C-alpha cells in the first residue's frame, strides 16, 4: 500500500480529502451558505464574522485567510456565496490560486431564498465532479501537518508534545512539512528555537517574532498573565507562560527551522516552519489550514473536541484520564508515558503512523463528530 | 396617535420580551459545535461565535459584558450556557452570574460532562425541558414603554423622525454609534433593546440577530430591488416623517409577533466587536 492516498490538484498540491466548500464572502452571506450546504448533501458551509466594511484595516489579512482556506488542497471545489458584486474579487483570488470556484451573488437572486436554489445547483455540480475523482498514491513530500496544543496541562510538555516532536521529526526526515505556531506560547523558548534556524537571519526572525509579540502586549498596557496560562492550564498544573511554552515548543521536535511564515502564509518548500498565529486554538488552526496544512496534530491535556471544517485533526491526550473521560473526542493517548507502559518514542511512532492512516482516508474523531469551528485572527480594532 | 396593543413576555426584573427564546450560548468558540447541534431543536436559537478564549484587559471585560448582556435580553426566556472547561471566559461563572438575575439558566460543560456526546445528551434534556416550559407561557398585555427599540445607525437623516415616531407609539429608543453594524446589533441587544431597526445604506446587505428581531430597512433603492427578500422595508417614496411612520408601524407588528425577513430565513447573526488582539 502506498503511504498516502490523495487528490492531485491543478495547483500542483495534493489533498487528503475532497470536500466541496460553501464559503460565505461576508457575514451577511452566512445564512445562505448554511442553507446551500444543507440542501446539497455533503458540502461544508463556512461562515464568519467579517462584514467587509469599507476601510477595514484587517481586510488584507482576512481576505488572505479566506482565500488560503478555500485554496487548501483538501477542497476539491468552492461555491463562494457573495453578498454583492464587490465580493467577486474574492472568487478571482481563489481562482488565481488554482482552485475551482463558482460564485453565486445574492443581489442577482433577490436575496437568500433565490441564492440558495442557485447555489445548491452549483454545489451539486461540484460535488458530482469531486465524486468522480479517485484517490491516487500521493508522495509524503506533499503532506503538510500543523502542530497544535490546546487545553494544555502539566503533562503536555512531558508526554504528548515530545511524542508529537518525534512524529514531526519523522515527517521532516521523509521530506514532508510541519508548521509550529501559537507565538504567545513560544514566549520563553525563543533562544532555543532560534538556535535551530537554518540561517542566522532566520534565527533573528524567530526572535523578532516572539519579542515583537511581547512588545505588542506591553504596548496594550496589559499583563499577558491575565490570559496565559488559561484557567484550564492552571488547573492542569501549569504555573507560568514560560513553563507552558517550553512544553509547547517540544511539538516541533529537533529538526532545523526553515523559516517564519505570516498568518495564513503557505511555505514554498518542505520542512519545519513557525507561523505567526495567536495561541487561540481556532484562530491558529484556521491560519495553519489557510497556509496549506492538510492535517492538524493536536495535543490536549484538558480535553478539547475542536476540529477544522476541511482538515482532519488528530487529537492526542497527554494523560489517560482525559482519554477515558471523553470517548469519541480523542484519537490517541500519550498517557501511557506517565506510568512507563509506553515510551515517548513509541507514542511518537504511533502518531506518525496514524497521520499516514489519516492521509489514506482514516477519519478522525473531530471529522466523525462534524466539528467545524472557524475563527479568523484580527489585529486592528476600532 | 393610536398606541399599539402591546403584548409579550414579562420578566422578573420589570422588563418584557417580544419573543420568548430558548438561547443556547457557547462561552467559547470551542463549544460552538455542541451549541449549534443543540440549537437545532425547534424553538431554540444558538449563537455561533469565534471568541471566549485568550482575551486580555478591556477586551475581556467587553466580551463578558456582551455575552452576559445578550443572555439577559428580555427576549430570552431561558438560556443554556455551553462551556468547554479550560477557557478564559468560564462558562460556569457566566451561568452563575446570569442565574443571580434570571430564572431558567442552565449550564453544560463539555469537559465536566465527559466529552461531546455526554454534553449533547445533557444539553438536549435541558433544552427539551425548557422549551416545554416556554411554549406553555402565553403572551400577555404589556405596559406602554416596556419595549425598547434600537436603531443601528447614528447619522442617518431618518434617525430623528424615526425616534419621534417610535416614541409616540410608546417605544423608547436607543441609537448605536458603533461603526460595525453587527457590533451595533450585539451592543443594542446587550443593552436590553427588544427590537432593532437596521438602516442599510448603499451596498450594505442586511444582517439578522440571534437575540432581537431586526427590521431591515433598505436606504438605497437599488440595494432593495436586488435583495428584496432579505429586507422588511424598501426605500420608500415620501418624506422622512412618512417613512418613519411606516417603519414604526412595522416595528409594532413585529413586536406583536409578526416574523421579520431575517427571522423567516433563520439568520442568527452575532458579530462581536473586539477591542484587542487575541493572545
Alpha-carbon distance of A71 to A68, in angstroms, equals 5
pLDDT in tens, A28-52: 999 999 999 999 989 999 999 999 9
Say if B88 is an interface residue toward chain A (CB within 8 Å): yes
Contacts with A65 (C-beta within 8 Å, 6 or more apart), sequence order:
A263, A264, A286, A287, A290, A376, A377
Check which CATH number belongs to the domain holding B227 and give it: 3.40.50.2300
**Judgement on whether residues B131 and B154 belong to the same structural domain of the protein:** no
Say if B47 is an interface residue toward chain A (CB within 8 Å): no
Q: Which domain holds residue B189?
A: 149-265
Say if A277 is an interface residue toward chain B (CB within 8 Å): no
pLDDT given for residue B1 in this prediction: 39
Backbone angles phi, psi at A114, to 5 degrees: -65, -35
Could you please report the per-residue DSSP string of B173-185? EEE---SSHHHHH
**Judgement on whether residues B156 and B106 belong to the same structural domain of the protein:** no
The verdict on residue B41 lying in a domain is: yes
**Judgement on whether residues B40 and B64 belong to the same structural domain of the protein:** yes
Q: What is residue A288's three-state secondary structure? A: helix
**Cell matching residue A116:** 440558495
Alpha-carbon distance of A25 to A42, in angstroms, equals 20
**Cell matching residue A216:** 505588542
**Judgement on whether residues B121 and B33 belong to the same structural domain of the protein:** yes
Interface of A with B in 239-268 (CB under 8 A): none
pLDDT given for residue B2 in this prediction: 44
Find cell 393610536 and name the residue.
Answer: B2
pLDDT given for residue A217 in this prediction: 87
- Domain limits, chain A: 19-132, 140-369
HEC profile for A216-263? Answer: HHHHHCCCHHHCCCCHHHHHCCCCCHHHHHHHHHHHHCCCCEEEEECC
Peptide bond just before B118 cis, omega within 30 deg:
no
> In chain A, which residues have pLDDT < 70?
1-2, 382
Domain count, chain B: 2
Say if B103 is an interface residue toward chain A (CB within 8 Å): no
pLDDT tens sequence for chain B (279 residues): 344 579 999 999 999 999 999 999 999 999 999 999 999 999 999 999 999 999 999 999 999 999 999 999 999 999 999 999 999 999 999 999 999 999 999 999 999 999 999 999 999 999 999 999 999 999 999 999 999 999 999 899 999 999 999 999 999 999 999 989 999 999 999 999 999 999 999 999 999 999 999 999 999 999 999 999 999 999 778 999 999 999 999 999 999 999 999 999 999 999 999 999 899
A28 vs A47, A112, B171, B269, CA distance in Å? 9, 10, 28, 8
Q: Chain B: give the shortest CA distance to residue A61, in Å.
A: 13
pLDDT given for residue A382 in this prediction: 63
> For strand A295-300 and strand A271-275, is the pairing parallel, antiparallel, or unpaired?
unpaired
Contacts with A27 (C-beta within 8 Å, 6 or more apart), sequence order:
A47, A48, A49, A50, A51, B182, B207, B269, B271
Check which CATH number belongs to the domain holding B40 and give it: 3.40.50
Say if A108 is an interface residue toward chain B (CB within 8 Å): yes
> For strand B140-141 and strand B7-10, is the pairing parallel, antiparallel, or unpaired?
antiparallel
Residue A306 to residue B30, Cβ atoms within 8 A? yes
Cβ A116 vs Cβ A139: under 8 Å: no
Q: Which of these three, B135, B161, B196, is where a domain ends?
A: B135
Contacts with B202 (C-beta within 8 Å, 6 or more apart), sequence order:
B219, B220, B222, B223
Alpha-carbon distance of B198 to B181, in angstroms, equals 8
Q: Would you tell me how many other CB atoms lie within 10 Å of the CB of residue A351?
A: 26
Q: Which CATH number fits domain A19-132: 3.40.1360, 3.90.105, 3.30.70, 3.30.420?
A: 3.40.1360
**ipTM of predicted complex:** 0.97
Residue A378 to residue B29, Cβ atoms within 8 A? no
Amino acid at each position: 500500500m502506498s503511504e498516502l492516498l490523495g487528490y492531485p490538484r491543478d495547483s500542483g498540491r495534493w489533498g487528503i480529502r475532497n470536500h466541496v466548500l460553501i464559503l460565505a464572502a461576508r457575514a451577511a452571506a452566512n445564512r445562505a451558505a448554511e442553507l446551500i450546504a444543507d440542501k446539497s448533501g455533503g458540502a461544508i458551509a463556512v461562515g464568519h464574522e467579517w462584514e467587509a466594511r469599507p476601510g477595514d484595516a484587517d481586510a488584507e489579512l482576512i481576505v488572505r485567510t479566506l482565500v488560503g482556506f478555500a485554496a487548501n488542497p483538501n477542497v476539491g471545489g468552492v461555491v463562494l456565496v457573495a453578498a454583492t458584486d464587490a465580493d467577486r474579487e474574492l472568487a478571482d483570488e481563489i481562482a488565481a490560486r488554482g482552485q475551482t470556484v463558482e460564485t453565486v451573488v445574492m443581489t442577482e437572486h433577490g436575496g437568500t431564498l433565490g441564492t440558495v436554489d442557485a447555489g445548491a445547483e452549483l454545489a451539486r455540480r461540484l460535488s458530482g465532479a469531486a465524486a468522480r475523482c479517485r484517490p491516487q498514491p500521493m508522495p509524503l513530500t506533499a503532506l503538510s501537518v500543523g502542530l497544535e496544543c490546546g487545553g494544555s496541562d502539566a503533562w503536555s510538555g512531558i508526554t504528548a508534545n515530545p511524542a508529537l516532536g518525534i512524529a514531526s521529526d519523522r515527517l521532516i526526515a521523509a521530506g514532508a512539512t510541519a508548521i509550529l505556531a501559537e507565538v504567545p506560547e513560544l514566549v520563553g523558548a525563543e533562544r532555543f528555537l532560534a538556535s535551530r534556524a537554518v540561517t542566522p537571519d532566520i534565527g533573528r526572525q524567530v526572535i523578532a517574532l516572539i519579542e515583537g509579540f511581547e512588545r505588542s502586549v506591553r504596548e496594550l498596557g496589559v499583563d499577558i498573565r491575565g490570559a496565559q496560562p488559561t484557567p484550564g492550564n492552571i488547573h492542569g498544573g501549569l504555573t507560568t507562560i514560560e513553563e507552558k511554552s517550553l512544553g509547547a515548543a517540544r511539538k516541533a521536535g529537533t529538526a532545523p527551522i526553515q523559516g517564519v511564515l505570516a498568518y495564513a502564509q503557505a511555505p514554498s518548500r518542505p520542512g519545519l516552519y513557525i507561523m505567526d498565529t495567536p495561541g487561540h486554538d481556532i484562530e491558529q488552526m484556521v491560519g495553519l489550514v489557510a497556509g496549506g496544512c492538510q492535517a492538524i496534530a493536536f495535543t490536549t491535556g484538558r480535553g478539547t473536541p475542536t476540529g477544522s471544517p476541511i482538515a482532519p485533526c488528530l487529537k492526542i491526550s497527554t494523560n489517560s484520564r482525559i482519554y477515558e473521560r471523553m470517548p469519541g473526542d480523542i484519537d490517541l493517548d500519550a498517557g501511557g508515558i506517565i506510568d512507563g507502559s509506553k515510551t515517548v518514542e513509541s507514542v511518537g511512532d504511533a502518531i506518525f503512523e496514524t497521520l499516514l492512516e489519516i492521509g489514506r482516508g482514516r477519519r478522525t474523531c473531530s471529522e466523525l463528530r462534524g466539528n467545524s469551528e472557524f475563527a479568523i485572527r484580527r489585529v486592528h480594532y476600532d | 396617535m393610536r398606541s399599539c396593543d402591546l403584548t409579550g413576555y414579562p420578566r422578573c426584573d420589570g422588563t418584557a420580551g417580544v419573543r420568548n427564546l430558548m438561547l443556547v450560548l457557547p462561552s467559547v468558540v470551542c463549544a460552538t459545535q455542541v451549541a449549534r447541534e443543540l440549537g437545532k431543536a425547534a424553538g431554540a436559537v444558538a449563537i455561533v461565535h469565534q471568541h471566549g478564549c485568550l482575551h486580555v484587559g478591556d477586551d475581556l471585560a467587553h466580551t463578558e459584558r456582551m455575552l452576559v448582556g445578550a443572555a439577559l435580553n428580555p427576549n430570552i426566556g431561558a438560556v443554556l450556557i455551553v462551556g468547554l472547561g479550560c477557557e478564559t471566559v468560564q462558562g460556569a461563572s457566566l451561568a452563575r452570574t446570569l442565574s443571580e438575575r434570571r430564572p431558567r439558566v442552565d449550564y453544560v460543560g463539555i469537559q465536566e460532562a465527559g466529552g461531546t456526546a455526554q454534553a449533547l445528551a445533557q444539553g438536549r434534556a435541558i433544552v427539551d425541558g425548557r422549551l416545554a416550559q416556554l411554549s406553555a407561557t402565553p403572551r400577555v398585555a404589556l405596559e406602554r414603554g416596556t419595549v425598547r427599540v434600537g436603531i443601528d445607525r447614528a447619522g442617518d437623516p431618518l434617525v430623528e423622525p424615526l425616534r419621534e415616531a417610535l416614541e409616540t407609539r410608546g417605544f423608547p429608543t436607543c441609537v448605536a454609534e458603533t461603526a460595525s453594524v453587527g457590533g451595533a446589533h450585539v451592543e443594542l441587544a446587550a443593552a436590553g433593546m427588544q427590537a432593532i431597526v437596521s438602516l442599510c445604506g448603499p451596498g450594505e446587505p442586511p444582517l439578522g440577530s440571534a437575540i432581537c428581531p431586526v427590521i431591515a430597512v433598505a436606504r438605497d433603492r437599488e440595494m432593495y430591488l436586488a435583495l428584496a427578500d432579505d429586507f422588511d422595508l424598501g426605500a420608500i417614496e415620501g418624506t422622512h416623517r412618512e417613512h418613519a411612520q411606516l417603519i414604526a408601524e412595522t416595528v409594532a407588528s413585529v413586536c406583536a409577533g409578526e416574523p421579520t425577513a431575517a427571522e423567516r430565513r433563520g439568520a442568527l447573526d452575532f458579530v462581536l466587536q473586539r477591542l484587542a488582539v487575541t493572545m
